[in-house]
Amino acid sequence: MAEQDGAEIATLIREINAGLNQRIRETFKDKPITPPQMMIIFMLAEEKRLKVSEISKKMSLANSTVSGILDRLEKQDYIKRVRSESDKRVVYVEATDQMKVIFDQHHQAMTEFLAYLVRDVTAKEFKTILDGLDILRNLVQTNGAKEKG
């Protein structure tokens, strides 16, 4: 494959990512919650308690970025930070009762959005998407330069 192909793929990914974020913003445009904040809220609805670094990893974000998002979620009283007793370097993030209310309010909208997104996708198309994304993920992984001779 030549570099034009790389450029084409890169542009497409950028376009799709922008489009997806746009759709999420539209879906929640009257809600006082941003996409990454939403993502953390949904993660905490499943896990109850997460380290800051676990959130960073799951979201493919730097720790410093997540720290800032948590600041704003904490200011809105949606999450709280709890120092780990066993390892005081670790900070656990937990949901507040306030957050549970927000989650219930938005759960429906998010579920509908996600279902709507793929409403017309056939099983075959879905497999094509996942296969393509899987190849791509391996390509861009930081250790993508595998020197296996």
CB closer to DNA out of 86 and 143: 86
Q: From DNA, a copy of itself, none, which one binds at residue 65 (CB under 5 to 8 Å depending on kind)?
A: DNA
Q: Among candidates 45, 37, 97, which has minimal Cα distance to 70?
A: 37
State the Cα–Cα distance between residues 28 and 23, nearest whole angstrom.
9
CB closer to DNA out of 10 and 121: 10
Q: How many CA atoms lie within 13 A of 9 on its CB side?
A: 13
Summary count for the chain: helices (H), strands (E): 6, 3
User: Do residues 36 and 61 make contact, with C-beta atoms less than 8 angstroms apart?
Assistant: yes
Minimum distance, C-beta of residue 44 to a copy of itself, in the bound complex (Å): 15
CB closer to a copy of itself out of 63 and 141: 141
CB closer to a copy of itself out of 46 and 97: 46
Residues of the shown chain interacting with DNA in the complex, contacts defined by CB under 7 A: 18, 21-22, 25, 29, 34-37, 51-53, 59-72, 81, 86-92
User: Do residues 94 and 49 make contact, with C-beta atoms less than 8 angstroms apart?
Assistant: yes
In Å, what is the CA distance from 12 to each residue of 7, 19, 25, 51, 95? 9, 10, 20, 33, 36
Q: From DNA, a copy of itself, none, which one binds at residue 70 (CB under 5 to 8 Å depending on kind)?
A: DNA
CB closer to DNA out of 122 and 143: 143
Q: From a copy of itself, DNA, none, which one binds at residue 91 (CB under 5 to 8 Å depending on kind)?
A: DNA
Residues of the shown chain interacting with a copy of itself in the complex, contacts defined by CB under 8 A: 1-10, 12-20, 22-23, 26, 59-61, 111-119, 121, 123, 125-126, 128-137, 139-142, 144-145
Residue with tokens 């998002």: 69
